Amino acid sequence: MWEILGGDLERVIITALEAAGAPEKTTRLVARHLVDNDVIGHHSHGVMRLREYVDAIDRGSLIPDARPRITDESTSTARIDGGWAFGQAAAEFAVDVAVRKAREAGVSAVTIRRVCHIGRLGRYAEMAAEAGMAAVIFTCGGGRGINQAPFGGLDRKLSSNPIALAFPSELEGPYVVDMATSAAAEGKVRMHRAQGRETPDGWLIDRNGNPTTDPRDLYDGGALLPMGHTEGHKGYALAFMVELFGGILSGGGVPGDPADSFSNDSVFIVLDPGRFAPIDELTGRAARMTDHIKDTRLRDPARPVKYPGEIEAAARTANRNEPIRLPEATRDGILSVLRDLSLPEPAALRRGL
């Protein structure tokens, strides 16, 4: 493992993305997303993605200076063409449009297609909640990046198809659930592989359909299993619905389509809770409900019950000024990008543990 301060890490990512051809505003936005994901402990969607994004630019499947644009809209809806811009930039654009429209109309639905990897969905749901809105986001893989088997099947047929929901709160952070509909995000399997760790039971099958805990099997023809283990029908059914909401509704790609590129085709549904009751009344009731739920006997006294989103909110506060610990493989990935872009190795990347 090695460690680095978030500010130093952000500067390294900004420099690399600038050298790869991204405009300054975009580099700052993408770097902020990646480092924030590492700060809150979601390393699967942190700076380890730099190598993949720079490779996508090289292949021409990510256009670093592209801008998403609205192709069709009404008071409460919009369709956005992501233009193969950075997914983080396109998703921020979509959530801004959705929040603006929900403020006007009470509720909005905004789709986006032709969009590169948007990373951690929870951040966009949090942004809506920070603006006083409730939000639901469905995101698929655009017919490529297929890595999840349907419940009862042994072949890859779906993407890991995440869902995020957020609701404003008066607590440290908004209520947020943000999860793959597969047992875990693919990036988490990649993190296990990078650290030479086995994956938990119920995450994976190998190419022959046998259960496995070897993360390498996923990259050798295996598949992610749907969330829920023996009750995987629930994860699968959700993953299926994500293809409808994220892929079919957006006009993006779905499994079975000939898809040249991975695309995080999505729908952002945003709702103004203030149209239903005064916001203080809603968040006050939610806080009292949270207290009630947390007031329980515990299986393990060292592990209190949390509200959804609490772990990330607390980690963001606690870790903001702390060094971030990352696996060596992540540093190697960043260094390889810097070398390819003929950039010097910054001193901040030399510090080990």
**What residues make contact with ligand NAD under the rule CB under 6 A?**
42, 44-45, 117-122, 139, 160, 162, 164, 176-180, 184-185, 188, 264, 306, 308-309, 311-312
Q: How far is the CB of 256 from ligand NAD (least distance, A)?
A: 18
Which CB, 45 or 156, lies closer to ligand NAD?
45
- Other Cβ atoms closer than 10 A to 61: 15
Q: How far is the CB of 91 from ligand NAD (least distance, A)?
A: 9
Which CB, 277 or 289, lies closer to ligand NAD?
289
Q: How far is the CB of 177 from ligand NAD (least distance, A)?
A: 4
Q: Which of 265, 268, 238, 269 is nearest to 251 (CA)?
A: 265
Strand order in the sheet with 204-205: 211-212, 204-205, 223-224
Which CB, 101 or 192, lies closer to ligand NAD?
192
Q: How far is the CB of 190 from ligand NAD (least distance, A)?
A: 11
The residue nearest ligand NAD at its CB is 185
Tokens of 261: 């590129």
Which CB, 1 or 293, lies closer to ligand NAD?
293
Q: How far is the CB of 173 from ligand NAD (least distance, A)?
A: 10
Tokens of 108: 């909005």
CA–CA separation, 250 vs 256, rounded Å? 16
Which CB, 39 or 338, lies closer to ligand NAD?
39
Cα distance between the two ends of the chain: 6
Sort strands 134-139 and 163-167 into parallel, antiparallel or unpaired. antiparallel
Sort strands 107-113 and 77-81 into parallel, antiparallel or unpaired. parallel
Which CB, 28 or 306, lies closer to ligand NAD?
306
Which CB, 11 or 306, lies closer to ligand NAD?
306
Q: How far is the CB of 75 from ligand NAD (least distance, A)?
A: 29
Q: How far is the CB of 222 from ligand NAD (least distance, A)?
A: 17
